[in-house]
Structure 1
Amino acid sequence: MAKKKRKTKEIKKKLLHKYRLVILNESTFEEKISFKLSRLNVFVSGTIAMIFLIGLTTLLIAFTPLREYIPGYSSTALKRKATELTYKTDSLVTVLNYTNQYLENVRKVLSGDVANNEVNRDSLFEQFKLDPNTVDLTPIKEDSILRAQVALEDKYNLFETEVRDRTLNFFPPVNGMLSNGFNAQEKHFAVDITAAVDSPVKAVANGTVILSEWTAETGYVIILEHGDGLLSIYKHNGKLLKSQGEIVQAGEVIASVGNTGELTTGPHLHFELWSHGNPMNPSDYLDFN
């Protein structure tokens, strides 16, 4: 026991024994700096300094881009980019293989090298050949209706029948007396309706204004498009109440009767009706009285 106590006291004495670290001027031996040290202080200070350096190094590696310079250490972003590049490379390789195969097939076709074609044309013809006895040629209901419509078109003017059916929804543009009727031979593709000045001119059907302006020969003109190739034209108006691009309803006032333009002979409405570029006689579809 005595020996152990003696050894402990000696170790403690050595650890706590004071030393003095002096820094001298080499030429004059003047004391510049001095430190009082003990072995215990040096050990504790060195341990703390090592822990601090280890912690600082860990922080620098974990939270700064310096970690990317350490061999074997890769960031999540780099891994993600590497994965994306791998997928893109695989896709490009696949596209390149398809392109090479396509170019090879084109080369064979251009050079006439089709002798080694593995496709048996006779087997294809045999596979897709139909037996007429297995086909049901009984006409269906829709086919019968279509045949009836075609037969009607051959017998009558189906287009004109369509227009006549649509006139059921037409609205008279103005009420008055016909002063000049439709005459295709004289190229008068309209009817002239006499009416009092400033009488309202109405749209014959729902439509869109595609022209609303002044012309020297026909005065104030407004043209409506009603869909399915149908146009209605109103000329020699006194005033225009709708502008180009506006949508109007059947019976809505769009202008007023006037006597404008060089070709007018008095207050009246010059009304034209066109369907798919063909002039139609408005008297066949409208009653102006």
Structure 2
Amino acid sequence: MPAWAVKIGLQVAQDPEKALKFLFFGIMIIIVLFMLLTLPFFLLFIPAAEPEQYNDYRNAALRIASESGDQLINWQEMIALDAFLLKQDFSKSNPTHIYSYFKEAFIWSEDVKIEVACVPPKKHFICTRTETVYHKRSLDEVMSRLNLSTEDKESVRNYLALNLDDLDDNSEVDGPIDIPPGNFTPVINQFTWPCDVYRVTSGFGTRIDPITGLQGALHGGIDIGTPMGTEVRATAGGVVSFSGYTETGGYMVTVNHQNGYVTRYLHLSVMLVNVGDKVRQNDAIALSGNTGSRTTGPHLHYEIHENGVKKNPLLFYK
């Protein structure tokens, strides 16, 4: 046994209390040294965005989704990419940059022809119309298109590994997630309720994504727990601007109203209106369903937009 070990052993035997103090201070010194050595690496992984800037990314993701068939980008992926690309200098970031850059990076579209009923009906003739279908690239696809190296991709993933909600004291997006307990009676003002079911199962704002499990996912409307085939009604008078199928939202109807308002009804089973139809408040426009890739069960996803911005629908019924 080395002489120094024998010496320490004798000291411990002679004065155990002194030995424990020595051991305690030794451990504390090791912990402090470890923190000093790892702190620079830890700080490297924290995007230096201000908490109020987080909403710029959330709102940009909502705006992009509203313009691209409900293709929702994870706002934390957007921040992680900017943290790397801007070298954490978020003074170079602004809402215009966030919206335009990430829409081009994550979203792509194609025009497809779909068969529709001929108006008026024509025998032995197939009528078609052209629709723009939107698709979303994954984070890995975006990083590959940017020609990031394996090391750079790992840096982005390190940023993404942070739970930014824990660093953010302002996690609301244009109104809180507000889920009434059980059934509730909405106050009818300019909008009526879209169906005869009042059970809100998921509110507006950030949440844990029910499909991917990611935290901080944006939910741009409310979910109403409707059984299959529940009648869905227009909540205000207007003109149908979309009636068709989207990859994530399934069968969907969009109605344009006066004063810059738009309502959307997603995951439908049957659509009862066509593009260009004029509808009155409370007219039946569809039957609820469970269509589209972003659904875990029968329900109606309902949205209200004001001048292109998604609003918390429940704020219109209080």
TM-score scaled by structure 1? 0.41
Of the two structures, which has the highest relative contact order with CA contacts closer than 8 Å and spacing of 6 or more? 2
TM-score scaled by structure 2? 0.37
| Rg (Cα) greater in structure | 1
